[in-house]
Structure 1
Amino acid sequence: MPQMDHVSSLRRRYQAMPNLELKEAIIAECADFISASLDKKEIKDRISSSIDSEFWQQFSEILIHYYLKRYGFDFSHPPSGPDFKIKYDDTTIHVEVITPKPEGIPSYWINHVPGTAVSFPHEEILLRWTAAIKEKAEKLLGKRDGSTKGYLEKGIVGPDDVYVIAVNARLLRGFSGMWGQINGISQFPFAAEAVFCLGPMQVKIDRNSLKIVDSDYQYRAEIIKPNGIGVPADTFLDQHFSQISAIWAVDLDESILVGRPQPTAIVHNPSARNPLPIKVLPSQVEYVAEAFEDAYKLMSSVGICAADSGFETSEF
């Protein structure tokens, strides 16, 4: 049986979608991405795949491409290295995209049965974020044991370039993927929890009056995997990762192509050798950690696309 072309594959994937405008927007955006890229065959193969993880890894890049194009960026798709190379004034910004697979996420979350109550598997989801960030950090820096060289050592990313890891959480959604979600149990983005040792909120109660006298966030330096091994959650507190400028946390699906707002946030690395300038990449909110006595204080500010979605935020 002859293999279907990528357009036929897309039409088959979205055959049950009632929104004809969105269907055509998907096909048109894929065509635009392919025309701007060098490795056209590999892209066509991925968007033709019936395996969701393969399709979404490629389609996430297409949606980021759309976002950058929509906001007027001057960018290209290099033949090797990070997925996007952006020219911003005198700064080169590299963006590496990853879509974590829902490995280890309970089925009751991914394939929710309507009418049933479920718990929020925040630690399982956070482990997928930490794994994604680790994978793309190693792409830049190589492995710590020196067994694999990274983009820096290969000269693909310059020592003065900005490097951003874009994580699309589309495949980690609960309730059968009904809506996007990038915030963890702390109500901060999973991206912040994964790099700042940020755990759940806790309150202090006076044992005599039984009144709440203080509240803060738990310090969580690692997340424990089911096998008992701890996974570090302190990437931005470790100078080894100072070449990583920021995490671009998104949960993008097809509907952004017809104007539906999607959750986006940027978490900046306070130790970055080459910081990502504030309010450059599209996001609803940006988080910056400011040194405060012997700790960091995580501050938020409205991002450049907040107005598009009616999003509002304030400092924490």
Structure 2
Amino acid sequence: MTQVFREGVAATDPAYINLRDSDSDPARAARELTESLWLRYSPYADDHFLDCIPHEFDERFWEMYLTCSLLELGFDVHCPKPGPDILIEADGGRVWIEAVTPTSGALGHPDAIPEPQFGKAGRVPEEQILLRMRSAIQGKYETKYREYRDKGVIGPDDSYVVAVNGCQLHHAIADDYPPWIAKAVFPIGGLQVALDRESLEVAETSYQYRGVVEKCSGSSVSTDIFLDQDYRDLSGVLYSKVDAGNPTARMGDDFILVHNPLANMPLDAGLLGCGKELAVRVEGDHGVIEDTDWNSRA
């Protein structure tokens, strides 16, 4: 079988080139992981996978890792062409999954995520990160989902998930709680604390409402798409920041699955049974975050 890393390939992706050409132990481990995944993934890959991966390594690795993780979890997995990247069947229902790996944006663009300055204290650019995630989700939903729905590939009773990988987003390691992927689809702002006036003890904690993120141009982008009826066909989003050089001990432990409470075809609670799962229950004019850490239950 043809391998992923091949000498003589005119590659353009720095990650592919660095992993292929380095003799370091981490690079060898990353190559071994990639090739082992390829052995399992190859029957599901499109005909252009090996031609594309030297030029878009992280994107293609994410598709492969995601598919192999779902196989490892015991799902009945299909990758029909044409169609979204992955189709799984669970409890008699069909769930389509479209993978996307957003970048930090064009160098010099005012809304791009700036590179971290190592050795210097600085602010994590959360707004720019949310803009990149939000744009990736919107792009897949408004183009790919609509296209496949119009062609009848995705049926009216099928669920649809956008799987976002943040490995190319600068500062991704600084993600906090609630995770950025949740803040990209729910209007969740910063943590606020209410103190008792007399005792000065914490009386209540909550998160500020943030319905939009401002772009440098002055225009605003909504962060409440999971409260928007126009996105009711988006059942949820899945997030990971895994890459070939930074895998988890068990595949899927890195996943964060966020449910859309308004989805026409909602996802079953505990669908994946791995990683973390987050939902927001709407109560009147506010929401309650409910999360499950499946890793702690293992």
Q: In the TM superposition, what is the alpha-carbon distance from 1:181 to its structure 2 partner? A: 5.1
Q: Does 1:167 align with 2:164?
A: yes
Say if 1:169 and 1:181, in contact at 8 Å, map to a contact too.
no
The reply on whether 1:156 has 2:153 as its aligned counterpart is yes
8 Å CA contact 1:173, 1:181 repeated in 2: no
Q: Tell me how far apart the structure 2 counterparts of residues 266 and 257 of structure 1 sit (CA, whole Å).
A: 16
**Partner of residue 36, structure 2:** 28
Counterpart residue number, 2:108: none
Matched, 1:95 2:97: yes
C-alpha change, 1:118 and 1:278, in structure 2 (3 Å) is same
- For residues 131-154 of structure 1, the C-alpha deviation after alignment (integer angstroms, 9 at most, x for no partner) is 111111113554xxxxxxx32222
C-alpha displacement at 1:21, in angstroms?
4.3
> For residues 33 and 4 of structure 2, what CA distance do their matches in structure 1 show?
17
CA deviation after TM superposition for structure 1 residue 204, in Å: 3.7
Alpha-carbon deviations, 1:214-266, whole Å to 9, x = none?
Answer: 43211111000111110011111011111111111111112437648863211
For structure 1, which runs of at least 5 residues remain unmatched after alignment? 143-149, 309-316
Counterpart check, 1:18 vs 2:14? no
Which residues in structure 2 correspond to 1:227-306 (within 5 Å)?
Answer: 227-254=217-244, 255-256=246-247, 259=250, 263-281=254-272, 283-303=274-294, 305-306=295-296
| Shift in alpha-carbon separation, 1:171–1:262, aligned structure 2, 3 A | farther
CA contact (8 A) 1:182 1:263 kept: no
Residue aligning to 1:313 = none
Inter-partner Cα distance in structure 2 for 1:90 and 1:130: 30
The alignment status of 1:130 with 2:134, answered yes or no, reads: yes
Q: Read off the aligned partner of 1:203 and give its amino acid letter.
A: V
Amino acid in structure 2 at the alignment position of 1:132: A
Check 1:73–1:128 CA distance in 2 against 1; reply closer, same or farther (3 A cut).
same
For this pair of structures, how many residues does the alignment match?
280
Post-superposition offset of 1:301:
1.5
Q: What is aligned with 2:68?
A: 66
Counterparts in 2 of 1:191 and 1:270: CA distance versus 1, 3 Å: same
Coordinate RMSD, CA, aligned: 2.6
| Residue pair 2:4, 2:34 contacting (<8 A) in 1 also | no
Q: Specify the code of the residue in structure 2 equivalent to 1:161.
A: D
Assess, with a 3 A threshold, how the Cα gap between structure 1 residues 79 and 198 changes in structure 2: closer, same or farther.
same
AA of the residue aligned to 1:48: P
Seen in structure 2, the aligned counterparts of structure 1 residues 259 and 290 have a Cα distance that, compared at 3 Å, is closer
CA 162–216 in structure 1, closer or farther in 2 if over 3 Å, else same: same
Distance in 2 (CA, whole Å) between partners of 1:11 and 1:32 is 23
Query: Are 1:61 and 1:97, in contact at CA under 8 Å, matched by a contact in 2?
Result: yes
TM-score computed with the length of structure 1 as normaliser: 0.79
Name the SS for the 2:40 alignment partner: helix
CA distances 1:20-57 after superposition (whole Å, capped 9, x unpaired):
344222123234323322x32x21122112xxxx2211
Shift of residue 117, structure 1, vs aligned partner:
1.7
Q: Take 1:159 and 1:102, find their aligned partners in 2: how far apart are those partners? A: 34
Partner secondary structure for residue 80 of structure 1: coil
Secondary structure in structure 1 of the residue aligned to 2:94: strand
Equivalent residue number for residue 109 of structure 2: none
Map of 1:202-213 to 2, 5 A cutoff?
Answer: 202-204=192-194, 213=203
CA distance in 1, matches of 2:251, 2:84: 27
CA distance in 2 between counterparts of 1:181 and 1:84 reads 29
Contact 2:212 2:224 in 1 (8 A): yes
Give yes or no for contact 2:214–2:220 (8 Å, CA) kept in 1. yes
Which stretches in structure 2 are left out of the alignment for 5+ residues? 10-15, 106-111
Q: Does 1:224 align with 2:214?
A: yes
Indicate conservation of the 8 Å contact 1:57/1:98, yes or no: yes
Q: Is the 8 A contact 2:77 2:87 kept in 1?
A: yes
> Where has structure 1 moved over 4 Å in runs of 4 or more?
9-12, 205-213, 257-262, 305-308
**Structure 2: how far apart are the matches of 1:194 and 1:72?**
29
- Matching residue within 181, 197, 218 for 1:191: 181
